[in-house]
């Protein structure tokens, strides 16, 4: 159909009429001509949704015969022409709240002691199945999902509130895996049924207040912790629709028409190939029983290799329990179409050929469409298709559709419900893991020095410890130095030749090495750093002593 775009941004040297231009955004109008070209390319737009672009646009303002063609970017395609069954999103769990340094001050209570409360835990990120969704289109508008942080701790032993959890709603059949996951790592989740949920990222632990550090030897600690940072990552989402029956066939075979007849679904129906570019779901109710049908867009020869959006569509066949193979009765070679499609199913995944198939010879209402019906029937019988699984129908008039649905229902009754199973070994964590107990603080490595005399100390637990240390408090820095001694990090640095003034990096925190590690030297270095940063009186306490 003729079409053009009204560009919102273009160079001065290009015309503004009658063609697609490079820019952001645009509205399709029925004026210019869109030309198909089967040399395809993959496009990942900034939303993370994957599309396969198969369209060229001809600039006909100056010369309609011109061979100057420009590819349409993924952002140029209208929504109904994109296939949103893959997406990339960023998630971040909430950070833990900061602990508080406070002391009890109350009449008739001398030396009331520390009363600083802990910070609240950060919110977690969950994925929850919403059966009203059937695509990942919602993720083209929102990429970033952040849970709320925990609240700060307060005086009088008041602990901060935990941050509320964030729920990301996904359609049934969604697989979620880390984008930077190494090969062989199982996905984080594979969710199939309505209401099913799994945790994707856990919130950080709240920092402890000074009341938590009270000991018999230190009755008035003047330090608190920062909250732990929440987990963050980029996720790859992949959708494999969950349906009882998949309707497959070559382009323009009448699959969408069949779906619209047997259900209340309203897919786009038109007399040209690739009318359907996004899988559609429809629920057929017959004899007080429901069956979910999935209209899989038309498949071409080479679909297993990605031709004609093949990968995007074939994946949706994997979770169906049975297939309805629609043959175009008006095709000049219906048997060749059937053979080609069977070959594509086999090349993509051999398990697809093991699924029960019911064959529907469509468009018998069209004159001359019955020329091949007997030949097709004989061929199918020779291929081992049972005669009761071969139907001649007209989706446009409804002829034979009821019998087809009854047969499909009978086939499903012979299959176990467990046929629609998970396709991966996803973790599917339904309970929050205890992240703090998973790493040993003595598990670390020391690398360096580099050309700038920098030493890198790596280790999950020690890096988390450094990140949660509140360096505004001298006691916190002293505690960190004791941990470096107890774990053997200082010993290993000396063994590798650390020198006075070298920089030691622990989890992004830069420290300067000093051979004199007495408490007096540590205090002088800490005080000098606070004066340099202009925070000399931040993080101090007036009682019982000031530092």
Higher-pLDDT residue of 302 and 501 is 501
pLDDT in tens, 464-482: 999 999 998 999 999 999 9
Torsional sign, CA 28, 32, 38, 40: negative
Of 161-165, 229-233, 287-291, 399-403, minimum mean pLDDT range: 287-291
- By C-alpha distance, which of 224, 265, 253 is closest to 114? 224
Q: List, as one string, the DSSP characters of 455-491.
A: EEEE-HHHHHHHHHB-TTSHHHHHHHHHHHHHHTHHH
Cα-based angle 136, 139, 141 (whole degrees, multiple of 5): 135
Spatial neighbors of 295 by CB under 8 A, at least 6 apart, are: 247, 255, 256, 258, 259, 265, 267, 276, 279, 280, 281, 282
- Give the pLDDT of residue 540: 47
**What's the 3-state SS for 288-313?**
CEEEEEEECCCCCCCHHHCHHHHHHH
Of 1-10, 294-303, 508-517, minimum mean pLDDT range: 1-10
- By C-alpha distance, which of 83, 439, 1, 126 is closest to 277? 83
Looking at every residue in the chain, the average pLDDT score rounds to 77
What's the CA gap between 359 and 185, in Å, rounded?
A: 39
The owner of tokens 């270095």 is 525
Query: Averaged over 177-186, what is the pLDDT?
Result: 90
Spatial neighbors of 405 by CB under 8 A, at least 6 apart, are: 262, 284, 286, 291
Of 25-34, 102-111, 531-540, minimum mean pLDDT range: 25-34
For 439-533, the fitting CATH number among 3.30.110.30, 3.30.930.10, 2.130.10.10, 3.30.300.350 is: 3.30.300.350
Q: List, as one string, the DSSP characters of 124-147.
A: PEEEEE-TT--SSGGGGT--EEEP
State both tokens at 418. 């467990």
- Give the pLDDT of residue 141: 87
Integer CA distances (angstroms), 56 to 83, 228, 459, 490, in order: 18, 51, 52, 64
Are 59 and 22 in contact by the 8 Å Cβ rule? The answer is no
Are 94 and 162 in contact by the 8 Å Cβ rule? The answer is no
CB atoms within 10 A of CB 246: 28
Name the DSSP class of 409. H
What's the CA gap between 515 and 74, in Å, rounded?
A: 59
Local confidence band at 281 (pLDDT 50, 70, 90 cut-offs) = confident
pLDDT higher than 70, residue 494: yes
Cα-based angle 519, 520, 522 (whole degrees, multiple of 5): 65
Question: What stretch of H or E contains 286?
Answer: strand 280-286
State both tokens at 250. 């070559």
**Domain 83-240 class in CATH:** mainly beta
Fold that domain 245-419 belongs to in CATH: Rossmann fold (3.40.50)
Phi, psi (deg, nearest 5) at residue 283: -110, 120
The owner of tokens 């205090």 is 523
- Give the pLDDT of residue 536: 55
- Give the pLDDT of residue 358: 95
- Give the pLDDT of residue 79: 42
pTM exceeds 0.75, yes or no: no
Are 36 and 277 in contact by the 8 Å Cβ rule? The answer is no
Higher-pLDDT residue of 203 and 434 is 203
What's the CA gap between 357 and 341, in Å, rounded?
A: 12
- Give the pLDDT of residue 210: 95
Question: In what order do the strands lie in the sheet containing 509-512?
Answer: 445-447, 454-458, 503-506, 509-512
- Give the pLDDT of residue 268: 52
State both tokens at 146. 């952040």
The boundaries of every CATH 3.40.50.300 domain in the chain are 245-419
Of 13-27, 90-104, 443-457, minimum mean pLDDT range: 13-27
- Give the pLDDT of residue 2: 34
The boundaries of every CATH 2.70.210.12 domain in the chain are 83-240
Local confidence band at 232 (pLDDT 50, 70, 90 cut-offs) = very high
State both tokens at 102. 């406070």
- Give the pLDDT of residue 78: 43
Of 42-51, 123-132, 178-187, 460-469, minimum mean pLDDT range: 42-51
Q: How far is CA 481 from the centre of its chain?
A: 41
- Give the pLDDT of residue 121: 96
């Amino acid at each position: 159909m003729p079409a053009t775009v009204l560009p919102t941004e273009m160079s001065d040297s290009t015309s503004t009429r009658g063609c697609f231009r490079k820019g952001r955004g645009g509205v399709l109008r029925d004026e210019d001509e869109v030309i198909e070209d089967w040399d395809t390319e993959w496009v990942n737009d900034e939303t993370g949704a994957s599309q396969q672009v198969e369209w060229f646009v001809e600039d006909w303002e100056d010369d309609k015969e011109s061979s100057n063609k420009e590819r349409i970017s993924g952002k140029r395609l209208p929504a109904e022409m994109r296939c949103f069954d893959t997406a990339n999103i960023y998630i971040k769990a909430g950070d833990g709240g900061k602990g508080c340094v406070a002391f009890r001050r109350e009449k008739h209570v001398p030396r009331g002691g520390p009363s600083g409360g802990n910070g609240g835990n950060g919110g977690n990120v969950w994925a929850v199945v919403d059966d009203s969704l059937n695509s990942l289109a919602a993720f083209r508008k929102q990429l970033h999902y952040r849970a709320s942080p925990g609240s700060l701790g307060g005086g009088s032993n008041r602990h901060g509130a935990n941050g509320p959890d964030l729920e990301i709603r996904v359609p049934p059949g969604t697989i979620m895996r880390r984008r930077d996951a190494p090969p062989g790592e199982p996905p984080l989740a594979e969710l199939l049924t309505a209401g099913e949920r799994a945790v994707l990222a856990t919130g950080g632990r709240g920092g402890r207040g000074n009341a938590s550090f009270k000991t018999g030897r230190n009755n008035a600690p003047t330090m608190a912790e920062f909250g732990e940072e929440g987990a963050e990552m980029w996720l790859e989402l992949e959708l494999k629709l969950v349906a009882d029956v998949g309707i497959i066939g070559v382009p323009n075979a009448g699959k969408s028409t069949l779906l619209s007849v047997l259900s209340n679904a309203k897919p786009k129906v038109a007399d040209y190939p690739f009318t359907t570019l996004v899988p559609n779901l429809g629920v057929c109710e017959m004899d007080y029983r429901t069956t979910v049908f999935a209209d899989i867009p038309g498949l071409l020869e080479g679909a297993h290799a990605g031709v004609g959006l093949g990968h995007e569509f074939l994946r949706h066949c994997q979770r169906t329990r049975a297939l309805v193979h629609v043959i175009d009765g008006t095709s000049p070679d219906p048997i060749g179409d059937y053979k080609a499609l069977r070959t594509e199913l086999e090349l993509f995944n051999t398990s697809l050929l093991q699924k029960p198939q019911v064959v529907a010879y469509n468009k018998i209402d069209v004159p001359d469409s019955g020329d091949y019906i007997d030949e097709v029937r004989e061929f199918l019988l020779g291929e081992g298709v049972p005669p009761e699984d071969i139907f001649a129908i007209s989706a446009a008039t409804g002829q034979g559709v009821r019998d087809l649905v009854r047969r499909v229902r009978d086939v499903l009754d012979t299959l176990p419900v467990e046929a629609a199973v998970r396709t991966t070994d996803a973790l599917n964590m339904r309970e929050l893991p205890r992240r703090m107990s998973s790493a040993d603080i003595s598990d670390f490595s020391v690398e360096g020095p580099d050309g700038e005399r920098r030493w890198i100390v790596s280790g999950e637990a020690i890096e988390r410890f450094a990140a949660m240390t509140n360096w505004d408090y001298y006691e916190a820095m002293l505690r960190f130095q004791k941990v470096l001694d107890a774990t053997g990090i200082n010993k290993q640095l000396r063994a590798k030749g650390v020198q006075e003034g070298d920089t030691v990096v622990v989890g992004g925190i830069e420290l300067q090495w000093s051979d004199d590690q007495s408490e007096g030297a540590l205090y002088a270095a800490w005080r000098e750093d606070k004066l340099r940063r202009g925070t000399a009186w931040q993080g101090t306490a007036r009682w019982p002593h000031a530092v």
